[in-house]
Structure 1
Amino acid sequence: MEPTDTGWSWGWAGWGLAAMLLFWAIGAYNRVMSLRNAIAVAFAQLDTHMSARASVCAELLAVLRPLLPNEQATFDALDAAQQEVQTALQAVRARPYAGDPVASLGVASAVHAAALTRLMSMLEHHAELREHPELFAQVDELKMIERQRSFTRQVFNQAVGAYNEAIIQFPTRVLASFYGFREARSL
C-alpha cells in the first residue's frame, strides 16, 4: 500500500508544480505585455509632440522662405530632415517596441535637431526679423514643444528601460524568447 500512496502524493505534487509553473508563465507574460504596452503609450505622447513640432516647423518655414530668400539651403535642410522624421515615425507607430525602426527615428531626430539648431542660429543673426513678432511667437511655441518632447522622450526611454530589464531577469528571460519578446531600443 505504501508504494501506491507515494505514487499518488507525487502525482498531486507534480500537478501542483505544473499548475504553479503555468500560472507563473501567464503572470510573466502579462507583466511583460503590460510593460510593452507602456512603451506604446509613452510613444503615443512623444508622437503627439513630434507631430506638433512638424506643424510649427512647417508654419515657420512658410513665413521665413519669402523673408530670407538667401537662406533656402537652411530651409531645405530642415524640410528634408522633417520628412525623414515623418517617414521614421510612420514605421515606429506600428511597433514602437521594435528596435530597428526606433533606431532609424533616433538618427532622423538627430539630423532634424541639427537642422533646427542651424535655423535657430540663423534667426539670431538676422536683426531684420525682429519686425515680425508673429515669427518669434512661433519660435517660442517651437521651444515649448521641444521641452515637452524632451520630457516625453525621457518617459519613453524609461518605459523601454523597464521593459528591457523585465525581459532579461531570470526566470522571465527563459520565456522571453519563447513568447517572442525582443529588446526594445530607446531614443
Structure 2
Amino acid sequence: MSNLNWALWTVAALLLFWGIGAYNRLMRLRNAIAAAFVQLDEHLTTRAQLCSKLLVLLQPLLSNERATFEALEQAQAEVSAAAQAARPRPYMAEPVGMLGVASAVHAAALTRLMSMLEHHAELREHADLYALVDELKMVERQRSFARQLFNQAVGQFNEAITQFPTRILASMYGFREARSL
C-alpha cells in the first residue's frame, strides 16, 4: 500500500470513530433528558394526587366554589394527558410543548384555589387541610427544581446538536431540537 492509501484509510478511520463518538454523545444527552423527565413526572404525579385529595376535602366545605374546583380538575386532566403523551419521548418538542401549556393552565388554576383558601378564614381550623396545602407547596418547589434540571438537560442537548460538525450527524440521524418547559 502506498502512503496515500494509508493516509486515506487513517482519515476514514478517524471520521468513523469521530462519528461514533458524536452519536454516542448525542444519545447520552438525549437519555439525560429522559432521566430528568422521569424525576419531573414523579413530582407531577404526586402533585396530581395531592390536588385530588385537596379537592375531595374542600368540595363539601365550599360548595359555592364549584367553578374553581372544576377549573383545577380540568387543568389536572390536561396535565395528566400531556404528561402521558410526553413520557415515551420527552425529547420531542410537540408533546413537551403541550405539557408546558397544560402546566401553565394548571398553575393558574392552583393559584386561584390557593388565593380562595386565603380568603376563607373559617377554613383555618382544619389542620388536615393546611397540612395538605403545605405538602403541596413543598411538592411544587421540588417540581420546580426538577423542571430546572430537565431544562438544563434540554439546553445541553440542543447546544450539542447545533455545534459544527455534529450538526451534520444530528440531521443525518434524525436528532431534532428538544423543547424546554
What do the CA deviations read for 1:116-164 (whole angstroms, capped 9, x no partner)? 0000000000011011100000000000000000000000000000000
Separation of aligned partners in 2, 1:92 and 1:146: 20
Tell me the residue number matched to 1:145.
Answer: 139
Instruction: State the identity %.
Output: 71
Cα RMSD for the two superposed structures: 0.6
The secondary structure found in structure 1 opposite 2:176 is coil
Flag structure 1 segments of 5+ consecutive residues without an equivalent: 1-6
Q: Provide the residue aligned with 1:116 in structure 2.
A: 110
Residue of structure 2 equivalent to 1:99: 93
Number of equivalenced pairs: 181
1:18 corresponds to: 12
Tell me by how many angstroms 1:113 deviates: 0.2
Extract unaligned runs of 5+ from structure 2.
Answer: none
Aligned to 1:184, what secondary structure does the other structure show?
coil
- Report which of the two has the higher share of helix: 1
The counterpart of 2:74, out of the listed 80, 99, 104, is 80
Structure 2: distance between partners of 1:130 and 1:114: 23
Alpha-carbon distance in structure 1 between the residues aligned to 2:95 and 2:138: 26
In 1, Cα distance between equivalents of 2:109 and 2:169: 43
Work out which of the two has the higher radius of gyration on C-alpha atoms and give 1 or 2.
Answer: 1
Cα distance in 2, alignment partners of residues 91 and 63 from structure 1: 29
2:154 paired residue among 155, 160, 179: 160
Partner of 1:35: 29
**DSSP-derived class of the 1:66 partner:** coil
Secondary structure at the counterpart of residue 135 of structure 2: helix
Cα deviation, residue 184, structure 1: 0.1
1:29-68 superposed Cα distances (whole Å, 9 cap, x missing partner): 0000000000000000000001000000000000000000
Superposition misfits of 4+ residues, deviation over 3 angstroms:
none
